[in-house]
Chains A and B, each alone.
Chain A
Amino acid sequence: MPSEADRPSIGAIILRALVYALAITALVLYVPIEPHVFIYQAF
């Protein structure tokens, strides 16, 4: 059983959760889109 002192504070949990959410968002947005040239084939 973790002692009272070892239990994470609610502030630490919220802060960590916010960091995770922002990191996931950044990761999703990081994936770049590469310009392709196949559009020429479409005409």
Chain B
Amino acid sequence: MSTNRGAAGSPLTWGLALLFLVPIDVAITRTPLLWGPTSYENTHDLRLVQLAETYKTARKLYAPARPARVRVALLGDSRLWFAAHEPYVERQLRRRAPELDVRVDTLAVFGALIGDMEVISRHLDRQAPSVVVLAIGGQELVPTADGELQHWPARLLSVGWRDGPLPPASQAERLDRWLRTVWPLYRFHEFARAALADRIFPGTPAGRPLPDHFSSSREVFDYFRTAQAPEVEAAYRAWREHPSLPAFLDYVLVGHPLLPWRPRVAGDARPDARALEVLDALLGRLRRQRTAAFVLLLPENPLLDLDTAGEYHSPGFSDRVADAVRAVAARQGIRVVDGRRWMPAEAFYDLLHLMPDLSGFQEPLAEEILRALRG
């Protein structure tokens, strides 16, 4: 007994325990145990989708699919997820520059706010991207109803020794960030727990990944709306034959009691001052890292111009965002590309999101990426 007691409290035992933690950490955080495919990562359940997309974003940063000489990181929210899936952009880049060995990482999380994007940008140096595109639609710069400018991505991927532009609410939060900074297993403990549980008790696959190619709107509806696809396609055809805002809304409303995916910002909303400080910190980081970077103002549905009463959007908000973003970007010497009018109404899946692949958004995006690469 005395021998066991001696071992229990011995500094040598604790030192060895810390040493043993290293291979255990590596065996989990640098292997498919954590980063392999899971049954839940393709869910479209709104309660879980932000977690799933944050997990996939972390995977792209810490366990990238393949090496490439040129790496493009795209930061954004669901609008980017719909429009800039990696294969669409990579295909377009290769079409324009066949010699390019390029990998695109679309770091897009549904509902991501500017605080989330800033925290994700803290991990960008892992991949040392050749080009970073920060895609802004405006809503990221306005707090949600809970008053927050960041949610799950910022909480789960929070790292750094110094406080960011949105300081932690408590010393415990700061300690949590320090632990995530120094200890990879702790950084990813929520993901690791979920992934390990999924390996031991595999769940029924929820959804499937966004396809690498769509050749028709019906294929898009089959992917997103499954059983309702024929009805949605009919409503979509009806609005294409008689283009108007009401016909478009009829199409978007199929199967929904309320308008889904409507712009969250209403009234005379304007970018939040704290949000612009976060944007400044994010762009400042990109400038210090000397990464070729630009801010892209995302395409807006031209049908919203017809909503003069502001029932479905905040008239004037887009210009207020553009002015504010340009001012911050100019301070940091970062180019702003105005893509707000890039796409016609028929390129949109709803009031906010573009049709994946079919919209053709990847074409002007690829052109701008190549321009940034060439300096």
Contact = CB atoms under 8 A, between A and B. Distances in A.
B281 interface: no
B262 to A, nearest CB: 8
B2 A39 contact: no
Interface in A1-43: 2, 5-9, 12-18, 20-22, 24-25, 28-33, 35-43
A12 B18 CA distance: 16
B113 interface: yes
Interface stretch (B47-55, B213-221, B233-241): B47-55
Counting chain B CB atoms within 10 Å of each CB, which of A13, A17, A42 scores highest?
A: A42
B24 interface: yes
Contacts of B146: 38, 41
A16 B110 contact: no
Nearest to B47: A35
A29 B184 CA distance: 12
Interface residues of B, number: 45
B4 A28 contact: no
Contacts of B144: 38, 41-42
B246 to A, nearest CB: 22
A42 B186 CA distance: 27
Contact of A9 (B3, B15, B48, B113): B3
Interface string B135-156: 0000000001110000110000
Contacts of A42: 50, 110-113, 144, 151, 264
A17 B7 CA distance: 9
For the residues of A in contact with B, the DSSP-based class is helix
Contact of A35 (B10, B25, B48): B48
Contacts of A6: 2-3, 6
Contacts of B264: 42-43
Contact of A25 (B14, B112, B185): B185
B12 interface: yes
Given A22-B24, A39-B46, A42-B264, A30 B145 contact: no
B6 A21 contact: no
Interface string B323-367: 000000000000000000000000000000000000000000000
B111 A43 contact: yes
B193 interface: yes
Contacts of B12: 13, 17
Given A8-B10, A16-B13, A29-B193, A21 B24 contact: yes
Given A13-B10, A13-B12, 6 more contacts: A8-B3, A8-B13, A12-B3, A35-B47, A42-B264, A43-B111
For the complex of A and B, 10 pairs with smallest distance between CB atoms: A42-B111, A17-B16, A21-B20, A20-B17, A8-B7, A8-B6, A33-B190, A17-B17, A41-B144, A12-B7
